[in-house]
A and B are shown apart, each in its own frame.
Chain A
């Protein structure tokens, strides 16, 4: 999995957050194991879905890839360059080709800047355009995401959630990136607006050859948009495979339970589906279970699950699972 020539390779990525006590003499009293030793790659032009429940580390993974939060250890190779060791100008140069769309369209736009300034700032910072050229570029971007260029002088509060998310998309695209991390870009939106934004993202991908890391907790949407899907649980990837394979032949007990829990909008189908109802809740990432992270809720757990952490291995072509029983 670690051929450095691939588009994006994540290798043994770890991100721990310290828990501290005290104000002046801060003492580390523990660690949140947000992301624990995950490896995967993203191919150019594909959409990799990263799915999991809240607190499983999917957003942290996205941010650690972009070095918005520096990983504790591990490597992130972007076209062969290890981002983990880059700093300053070099890192900024790399960031031009890697952008992010945030979840909350209300919190992620500066309320004191006009839409034109928000989108133009990225272009300006990277020194790609100035003056009239910059203005034209902003207009073109607004146009492309389905907003009237005349809106460039308005402030974010004048827009609805869906329109704000379009502004977020325009900002991410302003520097012609190759990789876009979409961190739950549609979860805050209404159903009919979600489809608008997802269709826009798909169109832009086709037009500009973008590569997406699409982070979401909505398994139906992940299935819709991704070519390959990685399922996360408590800081680890438990299963990674192609879209249809994951949904038709889920191998990990967690994936199976997760998929069975998603309601289907069809009364006849929905009433015939068999649910695997998981007992209990996700354990704390401060003190995760030994061995397999999922064993405390797993209906199939045996002795070895508590003793050894299962390897993340390829059980059939393109199908990776971390489970002792598969």
Chain B
């Protein structure tokens, strides 16, 4: 279904992903982002490091304000500056540090090698341009296609994401599409230059559950066909269960747990992850069980945390948590946790 010129690169990419399971596509280290506000600096991201392998789907979960979106937006120069400012860290992508690129260079990467799908498809389109115009623009800029080729490719892409009457709908404006259809067009636009990395920032949060299921199925199918890597940001621990290979759990601007997806639900290790899972009602639960709520509120982050950000709400808290920030430590293969407490003994982890 894809145009010829991209098929070979897609095949090599899938092959590469299979051959070198270890190949890192993106390597973020010690990322720090602050925002200048009237109350002072808000430390939104406080030293986040992670790797994304080629062909892998990485989930980032956390509640509002935990820094999950800011992390990704920082890497892509999409933080409004001011008030935001990336103050430190590295983000290596294909041998280059994204944070050191000029705005001109990052624009060449965005849309061609890395694409983003946002939560609200209404505000991320230009309302006064037709869908066709917006879909063909990246092709004309990044791939030097002429108008006719670009139009043809755009129609193919709309068909691929399941828009009926694709050729006719090219002339429609964003407001003429429903929420679910608009998100499909958004995905078509993101994938039109067959990027290596797709970043999905809560793409289904604004959608109804039956439409959400359609979009998730669509992304899974496209992922397998195109062999791309995905970073899927969400607050929904349900969606991530069916999609991700590995999951980062964020809290207070930090990664508190990094875990393979199956283990996230079978052996969560960080007290926050455990509490979060216990506070979720399940559609397949029998009988009635009181939800375990997490008392208190998320931290405000006006100071750079030099303690565990979850200490104030944690039921396992020990003295050390209050004045020393726990590093991410390996507790099982591929499973890292930032916590001082050994949950079995309730004491300091050796």
Contact = CB atoms under 8 A, between A and B. Distances in A.
B294 A195 contact: yes
B300 to A, nearest CB: 10
Contacts of B266: 267-268
A262 B238 contact: yes
A223 B209 contact: no
Interface stretch (B5-13, B167-175, B274-282): B274-282
Contact of A257 (B210, B212, B283): B210
B241 interface: yes
Range of interface residues on A (Cβ < 8 Å) = 35 or more
A163 B298 CA distance: 12
A4 interface: no
Interface centre among A193, A199, A260 (most CB of B within 10 A): A193
Interface stretch (A77-85, A97-105, A214-222): A214-222
A196 to B, nearest CB: 4
Interface stretch (A23-31, A128-136, A269-277, A304-312): A269-277
A192 B293 contact: yes
Contact of A199 (B210, B213, B277, B293): B293
B68 to A, nearest CB: 12
Contact of A267 (B208, B216, B265): B265
Contacts of A191: 63, 235, 237, 276, 279-280
B88 interface: no
Interface in B278-296: 279-288, 290-295
B63 A202 contact: no
A224 interface: yes
Contacts of B287: 244
B219 to A, nearest CB: 13
A299 interface: no
Given A192-B298, A265-B238, A267-B264, 7 more contacts: A53-B208, A198-B281, A220-B285, A263-B216, A264-B283, A265-B280, A266-B282
Interface of A: 53-54, 160, 162-163, 190-196, 198-199, 202, 217, 219-221, 223-225, 244, 247, 257-271, 273, 275, 277-278, 281-282
13 contacts: A190-B235, A194-B279, A196-B295, A198-B293, A199-B293, A220-B285, A262-B209, A262-B238, A264-B241, A264-B283, A265-B277, A275-B217, A281-B211
